[in-house]
């Protein structure tokens, strides 16, 4: 990954990281679709595996005890999209890959809206030097932590 991308991810909020993971799923689904068009079985399997790995990661990070109904809905979405991607891959179906891409894109767009809400997604931490502190301490403005 390039240094620009690394820096962007380092300074991203939790919600922005979720959006980036959804972007990854979409990118790998497009790669799988392209592999189907080329008849490249190995590339299709690799792309599908990477998309499914991200879905497994997202599913494993759900906090059902904190998230309530939205977490349950996301869990059901992840199970459904996982099955849909497997079916698309097994049948090498461009149409099924397109449907999976559209489904993931819809949920990713909802996460993007959440990322724009300053109450849910506060500004990243900024460190400012404060002159005159005998300990050389820095003041922190903003917060990365969400309740």
* DSSP, residue by residue, 4-71: HHHHHHHT--HHHHHHHHHHHHHHHHHHHHHHHHHT-HHHHHHHHHHHHHHHHHHHHT--HHHHHHHH
Of 116 and 39, the one with more pLDDT: 39
The answer, as to whether pTM is greater than 0.85, is no
Of 100 and 123, the one with more pLDDT: 100
CA dihedral 63, 66, 67, 72 (to 10 degrees): 60
Model confidence at 119, pLDDT cuts 50, 70, 90, reads confident
pLDDT of 134 above 70: no
């Amino acid at each position: 990954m390039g240094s620009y991308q690394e820096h962007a991810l380092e300074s991203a909020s939790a919600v922005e990281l979720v959006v980036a993971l959804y972007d990854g799923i979409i990118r790998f689904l497009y790669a799988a679709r392209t592999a189907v068009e080329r008849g490249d079985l190995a590339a299709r399997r690799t792309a599908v595996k990477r998309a499914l790995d991200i879905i497994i990661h997202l599913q494993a990070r759900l906090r059902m005890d904190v998230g309530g109904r939205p977490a349950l809905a996301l869990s059901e979405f992840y199970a459904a999209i996982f099955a849909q991607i497997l079916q698309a891959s097994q049948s090498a179906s461009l149409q099924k890959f397109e449907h999976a891409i559209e489904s993931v894109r819809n949920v990713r767009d909802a996460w993007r809206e959440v990322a724009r809400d300053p109450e849910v997604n506060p500004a990243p931490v900024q460190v400012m030097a404060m002159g005159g502190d005998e300990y050389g301490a820095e003041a922190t403005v903003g917060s990365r932590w969400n309740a």
